[in-house]
Amino acid sequence: MPDSEKTAPSAISVCPNCESGEMEAFYEVKGIPVHSVLLMPSREHAVDYPKRDLRLGFCPECGFVSNILFDPTVHEYSTSCEESQGFSPTFNAFAKDLAKRWVEEYELKDKTVLEIGCGKGEFLALMVEEGMSHGIGIDPAFVPERLDTPVASRLEFIQDLYDERYTHLKADAVCCRHTLEHISPTSEFMRKVQKTIGDQKDTILLFELPDVHRVLKEAAFWDIYYEHCSYFTTGSLARLFRKHGFDPLELMLEYDDQYIVIAGKPASGAKVPLLDGEDDLKRITEEVKAFPERFRKLKESWLEKIDGFYSAGKRTIVWGGGSKAVSFLTTLGLGEQIDFVVDINPHKHGKFIPGTGHAVRSPDTLREDKPDCVILMNPVYEKEVREQLNGMGLDPTIFPV
Ligand SMILES: [Zn+2]
């Protein structure tokens, strides 16, 4: 049976985060690639890549946003997964600072950290480099030969998905960065974490994941893609922590307000007052309500701009070959208006964007194929990208999303 004819699961109706609210649909994109971090070896593979529909639902009780049509069976997280952002100096510096701060603030020196969804293990290595004694990382996409760290002998990796089989692992800190947004039954996941922590009341939980307030406020549709089935705000994340018996210790937005950083520990019984950012239900409800119209306007304005460049014979390229580019190109239905995509990660060069089939090349190729317009998928990198372009003697117009 062709992939497109397979029936999608019926829509989730009860909120998987608070397990009581009714999900209300407010946004839909048809036929998006089920993976946007796996780049394809040929244009044909890329265009034929399996697609599903995405429908965002909102829980008015806890503020959780989720793809209620999410089909977890399509996932194939594996070592071909290029999820690592570790190639950008900006992101590396941020991760290093965060590891240093967490180790100091929560007195984690000489202690053990368990990282659920450790990717290629870069952050786990940073935590140990900052003084933790031992790190255990779990991730199906882990590739040992790619990790270069002086603390390799103090790291241990399990190349698998975290589930009940691993709830026996013990650690002083449980870290989970950019992982919970890939898990649909978030409450169920937290029950596994609770099981791992057991009665160790000193365990520190350290989570980091994208913030959906900004996505909704800016109608940043490029930040909505299939792998991300769960979308949190500071409030909905803190509510999840509290529901599972963890008191939030810190709750903040980092990385140009793109990511929520939360730390927690098993509740002692004493009432912990709400932290800044927890009381956000009214705000998220309004943002969800305004989103469809904001999205419609923004989509129209991007298409007008890009079609205009194309008609004028200008070369437009996209900078950044990650999930944001896949979603941006697919949601806008872009084809030949975009010449190609560049990315600084050499592992992506020569590959193709799933869905639209755009080629991904090295930024060096811009010396030959000079761009007039550069659509920059992550504004955080604007300075870095501008310097790189200027260094090649290029001065195209940059349009950060
Ligand atoms: Zn809910």
Domains of the chain: 89-283 (3.40.50.150)
For residue 239, report the distance from its CA to the centre of ligand 1, in Å.
9
Distance 260 CA to ligand 1 centre (A): 18
In a 13 Å sphere around the CA of 41, the CA atoms on its Cβ side amount to: 1
How close is the Cα of 198 to the center of ligand 1, in Å? 25
**What pLDDT does residue 7 have?**
58
Cα 79 to ligand 1 centroid, rounded to whole Å: 33
Separation of 29 CA from ligand 1 center, angstroms? 22
Instruction: Output the CA 240–ligand 1 centroid distance in Å.
Output: 9
Query: Is residue 225 helix, strand or coil?
Result: coil
Instruction: Please name every residue paired with 22 in a beta bridge, in sequence order, or none if there are none.
Output: 14
Determine the distance separating the centroid of ligand 1 and the alpha carbon of 60, expressed in angstroms: 7
Q: What is the whole-number distance in angstroms between the Cα of residue 23 and the centre of ligand 1?
A: 8
Whole-number Å distance, alpha carbon 59 to ligand 1 midpoint, is: 5
pLDDT at 378: 87
Structure tokens at 72: 């977890």
pLDDT score at 76: 59
User: What is the reported pLDDT for 37?
Assistant: 78
Do 119 and 83 meet the contact criterion of CB atoms below 8 Å apart? yes
pLDDT along the chain (401 residues), means of 10: 56 96 97 88 94 96 97 67 60 94 98 95 96 96 82 95 90 96 96 93 96 94 94 98 97 93 94 95 97 98 98 97 94 97 94 96 97 94 94 97 95
Predicted local distance difference test score (pLDDT) of residue 87: 59
21 Cα to the center of ligand 1, angstroms: 5
- Cα gap 123→163, rounded to integer Å: 21
Q: Which two tokens stand for residue 156?
A: 């241990």
Q: What is the DSSP string of 185-197?
A: -HHHHHHHHHHHH
The helix (H) or strand (E) run that includes residue 387 is helix 382-391
For residue 179 the two structure tokens come to 């992982």
36 alpha carbon to ligand 1 midpoint, in Å? Answer: 27
Kindly give the distance from the C-alpha atom of residue 176 to the centroid of ligand 1, in angstroms, as a whole number. Answer: 21
**Residue at 35: amino acid letter:** H
CA of 360 to the centre of ligand 1 (A): 39
